[in-house]
Amino acid sequence: MTAAIALITTPTRRRAPWMMVIVGVFLAMIALLAAFGGLLFPDAMRQDILASLLPAGSEGHPLGTDELGRDVLAMTIAGTASSVVGPVLVALGSMLCGIVLGTLAGYERGWLDFAIGRWTDLLLALPVLLAAIVVSGVLGGGYAVTVVLLIVLFSPSDIRIVRAGVLEQTARPYIEAAQMLSLSRWRVMFRHILPNVSTLVITNVMLNTAFALVAFSSLSFLGVGVAPGVADWGRQLTDNRAIMFDNPAAVIVPALLIILVACAVNVLGDWLGERLSRTGAAA
């Protein structure tokens, strides 16, 4: 599924302005729902057995209810925070690891580069979802465990990308000039080199957010992400798959949101990468 998302959103030409407006408005709405959805529907998980399995369009329930009588629209809106915040934290935490370790490996080289390289090789050899399922099962799962685990499993690609960018920058004359001025290695790495690989950092954060959203939802679907009784898109899929024919909206709406948000984030990342690349080339 992640490969399909990457294929769909791979840029072949300059993005149309109207497309980016739509993507920006959509992601802004998702951000607002993530911030205030829980306040709008504080009792989203309230059960009402007498109102169970109502179809979409029922009075008071635009998307119907599930078999426990919970309103699908309320659960979907309240679950936005759980579904989106975790992947964003995974992408940011993973890139933070990539910035620190990738910059050190690319600039210092030697034994440090070798040790970091072997660590990334080990993690890249692990299938992400399978490793996450096993470790979450051993540790008991949970939201925080899933976030930390995915940060660790997503970090190797970020480390390699930042390392490659740093290696390319270290051969440039401005680095030699900085070293001749006896600037500290930390200042050279994080004040001079890192800003010049910011395009790689930003675009990969966006890409990782999309992939982490799919991975997070997959783990929740398998029962090792969020705990039962928590509003979450992935959890809705596994809870409502048995009522697919009674109320299709209970499954289709959260699944469609996962796909749309992942694609929108990827498109935005591609657009930012193109803009930043053109700005850098013009400078």
* Partner residues linked to 65 by β-bridges: 71
Provide the residue type at 132 as one letter: A
- Our separate counts of H helices and E strands in the chain read 12, 0
Rounded CA-CA distance 249/243 in Å is 10
Task: Report residue 144 as tokens.
Answer: 């925080």
For residues 20 and 59, what is the distance between their CA atoms, to the nearest angstrom? Answer: 35
Write down all domains in the chain, each with its CATH number in brackets. Answer: 2-282 (1.10.3720.10)
Enumerate the β-bridge partners of residue 71.
65
3-state secondary structure of 61: strand
pLDDT digits (tens, 9 = 90+) for 57-96: 888 899 999 988 999 999 999 999 999 999 999 999 999 9
How much is the pLDDT for 283? Answer: 52
Q: Rounded mean pLDDT of 135-158?
A: 87
pLDDT higher than threshold 80 for residue 4 = no
**Token digits of residue 223:** 């029962």
pLDDT of residue 2: 45
pLDDT tens digits, one per residue of 181-221:
877 888 888 888 888 888 889 889 999 999 999 999 988 88
Contact status, residue 268 vs residue 206, Cβ threshold 8 Å: yes
What would the pLDDT profile of 255-280 be if each residue is shown by its tens digit? 999 999 999 999 998 888 888 777 65
Share of the chain above pLDDT 70, in %: 93
**pLDDT grade for 11, boundaries at 50, 70 and 90:** very low
pTM as predicted = 0.87
pLDDT at position 193, please?
A: 87
Q: What is the DSSP letter of 226?
A: S
Residue 71, helix vs strand vs coil: strand
- The fraction of the chain above a pLDDT of 90, given in percent, is 47
Confidence of residue 115 (pLDDT cuts 50, 70, 90): very high
Quote the distance between the C-alpha of residue 184 and its chain's center: 34
In this predicted structure, the answer to whether residue 253 has a pLDDT above a threshold of 90 is yes
Beta carbons within 8 Å of 165's beta carbon, 6+ residues apart? 102, 106, 196, 197, 200
Q: How confident is the model at residue 135 (pLDDT cuts 50, 70, 90)?
A: confident
pLDDT of amino acid 126: 86
- Report, as an integer, the average pLDDT of 146-167: 92
In this model, does residue 228 exceed pLDDT 60? yes
What is the pLDDT confidence band of residue 15, given thresholds at 50, 70 and 90?
Answer: low
